[in-house]
Amino acid sequence: MLALDITNSAFDFLTKMQIKPFRQVMLSILQLTKNPYPQDAKKLIGYEFYRIDIGEHRIIYQAENGFLKVILVGKRNDDEVYRRLKNMRK
């Protein structure tokens, strides 16, 4: 089982979510600590990160050195999460 590390950006998004989607996303994050590469995980091109979709939300994460680092959480139906990821790279 991997230790969980959540970035400030992901934490801020999670704290603003309503309870039902929050529960769904957190359950998925906890499952990732046990299996960081589920069948629906996709590697992001040009990054060392993976993503999974949970309902209307997207989780971008990285698993390495015994940690599951949740980089970003965002809405799935827009590209805001990818814009934020691109801005983090600069």
Residue-range definition of the domain harbouring residue 17: 3-89
* Numbers of helices and strands, H then E, in the chain: 3, 5
The pLDDT value given to residue 78: 74
For the full predicted model, state whether its pTM sits above 0.75: yes
Cα–Cα nearest to 75, from 83, 63, 65:
83
Sheet with 57-64, strands from edge to edge, namely: 3-6, 67-75, 57-64, 50-54, 42-43
Q: Which of 63, 73, 71 is closest to 88 using CA atoms?
A: 71
Looking up residue 32, the CATH number of its domain turns out to be 3.30.2310.20
Q: How many domains does the chain have?
A: 1
What DSSP designation does 66 have? Answer: T
pLDDT tens digits for range 26-81: 999 999 999 999 999 999 998 999 999 998 999 999 999 999 999 999 988 778 88
What does the pLDDT read at residue 27? Answer: 97
Instruction: Return the pLDDT at 18.
Output: 95
Tokens of 20: 């039902």
pLDDT value, residue 90: 59
